[in-house]
Structure 1
């Protein structure tokens, strides 16, 4: 790479190492920083990895670059957070509102329990194929466009569901309409569910990010709480199911209207240092996620924790009604479950912000969750007094639901700087897959009721149709066993993550990293002029030279290797770069 001075202008030319079929020579006139950045962006993926702010921060140091030392935040972020939370509440309410009244749904739509379960399964199944497209769109177009798509699809789906109560439509046709509306809402979830983490990362400071993420994700739990409590109250019998569908439209439309007030996808200035760092292209992000052992372990662990929650929320009525619990009791149980979970998310999110000990908090939560699930299963099967049941649900919620935001923060720490929506979207996809397997497989392990259980069950109470009721003791034991199994996995395997930017060695998955040959000028005039032309400041020359060296050895070369612009041989990592600094008469200052 040559830096020359010709007629008081700088010219920058670069040549990658001639290894294999890689032979690229790059030339750009360096009149000011904007020209250089335009040049970098012209290099497609490779150039996009070196953003303006990152280049400034590495070249001249944060205190001299055009990056604020105090990162400002903006008050409108709280309004945006409210819109995100309302969208989460509305979408979750629509997902869960038939689970606490599954027996009424069976009677109203003249279907079986499996068909009602598909209203919940629809959300999980749709997430799997549409996660990657939706996360790509969110990362590509930003939070605002992702919100527009999500909230308005959610509103349209909720309106379509209301047509399923029209008497002029046949019984089978009504349920098809309900499923179609549920599908639209499930498709909206793939946008709504993946926005909170990216939104909190972009708009909130480092000291507020975990709390904002916990509030946004906790809103999803709060929507499930409302659906679990209000559904049995609003629809105590089949005649009130239309009212339940009508009321579910209100928050969906309100979220859509308020989303129009979101004026920008990102704040005018970065909210924290990490926001200005380099970001990786989508396909390369997927490749790195697959190579990260830490992420794969968190992928499984978080997936099982959230999958158990999804299965319990979906099958709770079918699991508990054989033991004599009515719909009102189920609603209260889910209320304690989600309410305590939302509180736990806020509490543990606050401590995570204050202490930064995500790893330790996660260990505590996994251990406590295994104990909580054992207590819940034993209390349900042995029909203990109801206040013990309420306590068990609250305990499970308080220690298991915070695993969702905490694990997502851990994932971002593990794979940074991969885009947030991509990392979280694939993580959520794991939970949906596991949840689907549980919802589909658990009923297969149910057994017919004995004579005593048939005398106390409430599943078919007041029903004019014959409903097949099963005892879910075995599935409950399996769920508790899965959580205990996760807790017993070695913590060194579960939580061996790096809480900082991965080193080039880790990034490129190479066993060794050798030095890159880089010569710099010994003439201070060259450095002073280069810095002044770029930034109009005069930083200490030693710091400037060191940071300039770091730019090539820690950013350009590793990412060039990762993208295939350079290929390593037996001696060198990332190819060989030699920098020649020349002045107009051709004298080589440094080589």
Structure 2
């Protein structure tokens, strides 16, 4: 069912964990960076397609002759399709592994991009909706993978940073690790930056259709190339487990896995339930803010579509820096609860500052405040994935991350619709204060999460058992050298003489 790699694949000799331990040989594979980079790239492409309409919503409203709410639904389709499909896809991830999920996600991403090319005339808005829905199906096969890739391919000292990289391919989401991180959340960043440049707000509809076609053709070409690379390069798992925790999972007896029972166990975990809600609140705010950013900026700064995209770019690029720093920090300190709480508090502060500076009339101020907000709000996302993996070990990371994302999609839809309606009736400040109130609630709830780091404890216990086993072997060797305890010093003397 799961395709094994050749055991001759080179592994890094200086891996973060090696040795015979209780779980067998442990080492990290060089291929892990290729797998991570490839996943991040097609995740980037999918994230670009999520936000490519919202970043120039006023242009698409005029081209297709539809309302702002209709364009908002192109973004919210990503959130809506995820909710009912999480459980079937997570079941496939647990049963069939990473490769099948990667192939399906990248294929749907390419197919959706090609379908959009059939919507280059104003009456064909339903076709572009169909293409976007297909792309939204692809992201269901993407969002549950970061924690799984990090856990299956990376050692315990790299897993948090690897998860940060994988997450930020979709958001974009010492050493080579830092350079690869910058690929990830770049997807959303490019979704803010590129569409306003490729699709200027021109009056002539034919010229507008031509510019839109360029963007759609480029996206389809990249998505297709990435699908081909996934078919050729993407592997199921490395020949050796990269950490003691992963080795223990692989050595567990093969029993029938009950996905329903796993979900029920997770929902009985109070700390995880609190994290699921708080993650949904924070990420839902980010989804709403990203979807409505163009409307906010154009309302206060008419004609600044390009700068609105650049503000979105700033929001995401600063989040990349926040994710990198938080991932490296967690790998070194393992302070999941403290780091998550601090980042949540600063997300609230950043949102308050952004709310009251948006209407000051100075674009440079908006750039600065959006950067501060993005550093913490989007930098929080990988923290949630890794904190959940710690709280729920040895449950499947696909299950825990899937539940986090369902929470995010539900809150994202609710916040986007509600904030859009509040903005239409009461203005952008009221809409942003609406988000601030829920970030405050999330901060309070985060303080009540118990830091039960089960995965770290498993690694510590495995290492302790391995060291105890090594100590017993050493003791046995001393006894074998001279079984007479009275003259045991002769063993040390003989060893010294041999030197």
Short-chain TM bin: 0.7 to 0.9
Which 5+ residue runs of structure 2 have no aligned equivalent? 1-18, 172-185, 202-207, 458-469, 477-499
Q: Select the residue among 129, 132, 135 that pairs with 1:182.
A: 132
Q: Give the aligned partner of residue 100 of structure 1.
A: 55
Q: 2:281 aligns with which of 304, 318, 328?
A: 304
Are the aligned partners of 1:416 and 1:502 in contact in 2 as well (CA < 8 Å)? no
Residue 36 of structure 2 is aligned with which of 76, 81, 97? 81
Partner residue in 2 for 1:121: 76
> 2: distance between equivalents of 1:64 and 1:372?
46
Residue 362 in 1 paired to residue 340 in 2? yes
Q: Return the structure number with greater strand share.
A: 1
Match of 1:319 among 283, 292, 296: 296
2:416 to 439, 454, 473: 439
Instruction: State the alpha-carbon separation in 2 of the partners of residues 197 and 97 from structure 1.
Output: 26
**Higher Cα Rg: structure 1 or 2?**
1
Q: Could you tell me how far apart the structure 2 residues matched to 1:443 and 1:476 are?
A: 10
* 1:53-102 Cα distance to aligned partner (Å, 9 max, x none): xxxxxxxxx9575602xx21111111111110111110000000011210
Return the match for 2:434 from 463, 478, 483: 478
Judged with a 3 Å threshold, the aligned counterparts in structure 2 of structure 1 residues 283 and 490 are, in CA distance, closer, same or farther, namely closer
Report Cα offsets for 1:115-153 as digits up to 9, x if no partner. 111110100000100011111111111111110010001
Distance 2:456 2:269 in 1: 11
Aligned counterpart for 1:267 among listed residues 229, 232, 238: 238
- The within-5 A match list for 1:273-288 is 273-278=244-249, 281-288=258-265
310-319 or 257-266, larger mean C-alpha shift? 257-266
Partner of 1:255: 226
Supply the distance in 1 between the matched residues of 2:339 and 2:65 (Cα, whole angstroms). Answer: 46
Q: CA deviation at 1:273?
A: 0.8
1:360-509 maps to which residues of 2 (within 5 A)?
Answer: 360-383=338-361, 385-447=362-424, 471-489=427-445, 491=447, 493=448, 495-500=449-454
Task: Give the 3 Å change call, closer, same or farther, for CA 501–66 of structure 1 in structure 2.
Answer: closer
Conserved? CA contact 2:152–2:237, under 8 Å: yes
Residue of 317, 322, 331 corresponding to 1:353: 331
Does the aligned pair in 2 maintain the 1:89–1:223 contact within 8 Å?
Answer: yes
Partners of 1:490 and 1:87 lie apart in 2 by 32
Greater mean deviation of Cα atoms: 424-433 or 236-245: 236-245
Structure 1: 5+ residue runs without aligned partners?
A: 1-61, 449-469, 504-536, 544-591
Q: 1:501 to 1:394 in 2, by over 3 A?
A: closer
Q: What value does the CA root-mean-square deviation take over the aligned residues?
A: 2.2
- Looking at structure 1, the residues matched to 21 and 193 of structure 2 have their Cα atoms a distance apart, in angstroms, of 56
* Pairing 1:164-179 to 2, within 5 Å after superposition: 164-165=119-120, 167=121, 171-172=122-123, 174-179=124-129
CA distance in 2, matches of 1:341, 1:94: 19
Relative distance call for 1:153 and 1:366 in structure 2 (3 A) is same
For 2:110 and 2:43, how far apart are their aligned partners in 1?
Answer: 12
8 Å CA contact 1:277–1:417 kept in 2: the answer is no
CA gap of 1:200–1:490, structure 2 versus 1, over 3 A, is closer
Which residue of 2 is the match for residue 131 of structure 1? Answer: 86
Q: 1:235 matched to which residue of 2?
A: 199
Alignment length, in residue pairs? Answer: 416
CA distance in structure 2 between the partners assigned to 1:210 and 1:261 by the alignment:
27
Contact residue 322 and residue 471 of structure 1 kept, 8 A: no
Question: Do the aligned partners of residues 65 and 473 (structure 1) sit closer, same or farther apart at CA in structure 2, a change above 3 Å counting?
Answer: closer
CA distance in 2, matches of 1:296, 1:273: 27
The C-alpha deviation readout for 1:396-455, integer Å capped at 9, x for no partner, is 11011121111110101111111111110110110010000011122222346xxxxxxx
| 1:205 counterpart SS class | coil
SS at match of 1:271: coil
Distance in structure 2 (CA, Å) of the matches to 1:310 and 1:74: 35
| Counterpart secondary structure, 1:496 | coil
Match of 1:191 in 2: 141
Report the secondary structure of 1:260's partner residue.
helix
- Tell me the equivalent position of 1:336: 314
Contact 1:138/1:421, CA 8 A, preserved across alignment? yes
TM-score when normalising by structure 2: 0.80
In the superposition, the TM-score normalised over structure 1's length comes to: 0.68
Distance 2:21 2:78 in 1: 49
Distance change >3 Å, CA 432–CA 84, structure 1 → 2:
same
CA contact (8 A) 1:443 1:475 kept: yes
Pairing 1:57-76 to 2, within 5 Å after superposition: 65=22, 67-68=24-25, 71-76=26-31
Counterpart Cα distance in 1 of 2:364 and 2:423: 26
Question: What SS does the corresponding residue of 2:400 show, helix, strand or coil?
Answer: helix
Deviations 1:489-541 (A, max 9, x none): 461x1x213102699xxxxxxxxxxxxxxxxxxxxxxxxxxxxxxxxx9x88x
Contact kept, 8 Å, 1:369 with 1:399, in 2: the verdict is yes
Deviation at 1:281, TM superposition (A): 3.2
SS of structure 1 residue aligned to 2:454: coil
Partners of 1:409 and 1:488 in 2: how far apart? 20
Structure-2 change in CA distance of 1:63 and 1:131 (3 Å)? same
Alignment check: 8 A CA contact 2:119 2:128 kept: yes
Task: Determine whether 1:220 maps to 2:170.
Answer: yes
User: For the residues of structure 2 that align with 1:153 and 1:135, how far apart are their CA atoms?
Assistant: 17
Provide the secondary structure at the position in 2 that maps to 1:108: helix
